[in-house]
Structure 1
Amino acid sequence: MITLLASHNEELYKIEPWCVADIADLVRGDRLQVLTSSDGVLDFWFSHSPWLRVNRQATGLLLATTRFTAHEVPLLRGDIVIAAHDSAGDLASLTDTQMSRLINSEHSWREERILRRRFDRDLRAQRRTRAAAEAAARKSLLGRAFGRTHTQGRS
C-alpha cells in the first residue's frame, strides 16, 4: 500500500505501511488520530503532540482537501501519514491521481497569508511556553540548591 509521509522536515515521502500499527510507528504516537478529506477519500493520520512544531506542508494539504478555511484548519504537528481507504474503511493505496492532486494543490495568496500568520503566532507561543518552563525549572533547581545550603549551614 503506497501512502505519503509529510515529514516534520517539510518533505513528502512515498512510504508503504502495511497496517495502522505501522502508521502509528511512523507518526511516533500512541494516540493515533485521523482527519478525512471532504470527499471522504483521503485520511490524514497524526498524533496530537502540542510540543512539536507545526507541519506546514501537511496543514496546507489538509486545507486543500477539506472545507476548512485557513482560519479553521487544525495545525498538524510532527510527521503526518496521508493514506486512502476503501469502501470498508480499510487502508488503501493512494492512486496516482490522488497523489498528483495533493502534490499540485495550491492556496490563494490570502490563504497563504493567514496560514503564515497562524504558523508564526504558534511558533511564538511555543517559544514563550518553553521559556516559561525552563525558567520554572531553573527556579526550582536554584531553590532546592540554596535551600540545602542554608539548612547545612545552620547545623
Structure 2
Amino acid sequence: MYSALLVTAAGDIQELTVYSMDAVADIVGDRWVDCLTSSDGMLDFWFGSSAASPQGAPNRRATGLLVTTTVFSAGTAPLLYGSVLVCSRSSEGRLLGLTSEYREQLHPPGWLSRWWLRRRFAHPIDRRAWVGLDPSDRDSWLG
C-alpha cells in the first residue's frame, strides 16, 4: 500500500492508497497514461495519455504543481488535463509512499508563474493539430 495524491480535474486534492503500478491507469481514468517526473526524480505526475484528445479545461492545480517541482517554466510546461496522480517511485520503478518531505515540495507556483499559467489556460494551444502541417508550406502555419 502506497500513499498518493489525486488531483481531480476540478482541482480537488484527495489522498488515496495505490496498491500497484497497474492501478495507476484505473485511478487516472485512462487506458493509456503518461508520466512526468520532478527535477529531483522523487515525484511522478501520472496523467491521461497525450494521444487522447483533451476533454474540458486544463487541470490548473496539477499543472501548477508540475511547474513548481520540475524544470518546466510556466510557458513551457505541458498543460495537464483530467485527473492527475502524484506519487513517488524508487530508482527500480517500484511505487513508494509520499512522505512529508515529498509533500512539502508540492506548493502553488509564484505570482509570475501563476500569471503566465492564467494566460495559457485562457488560450490553450493544441499542438497536436500541427502534426498534419507540411513544414515546407510555411504560409499554412499563419492560418
Cα distance in 1 for partners of 2:63, 2:70 equals 11
Cα distance in 1 for partners of 2:35, 2:16 equals 18
Cα distance in 2 for partners of 1:68, 1:101 equals 15
Q: TM-score, normalised by structure 2?
A: 0.80
Code of the residue aligned with 1:27 in structure 2: it is V
The structure in which a higher percent of residues are helix is 1
Q: How far 1:97 sits from its partner (Å)?
A: 1.5
Q: Number of paired residues?
A: 122
The question of 1:106 aligning with 2:108 is answered yes
Give CA-to-partner distance per residue, 1:106-134, whole Å, 9 cap, x none.
Answer: 32222111100100112xx79xxxxxxxx
The SS at the match of 2:81 is coil
Cα distance in 2 for partners of 1:35, 1:107 equals 17
- Stretches of structure 2 lacking an aligned partner (at least 5 in a row): 127-143
Of 53, 56, 76 in structure 2, the residue corresponding to residue 52 of structure 1 is 56
Instruction: Give the share of equivalent positions with the same residue, in percent.
Output: 36
Q: How far 1:52 sits from its partner (Å)?
A: 3.5
Aligned residue for 2:120?
118
Cα distance in 2 for partners of 1:89, 1:8 equals 26
**Rg comparison, structure with higher value:** 1
Q: TM-score, normalised by structure 1?
A: 0.74
The SS at the match of 2:105 is helix
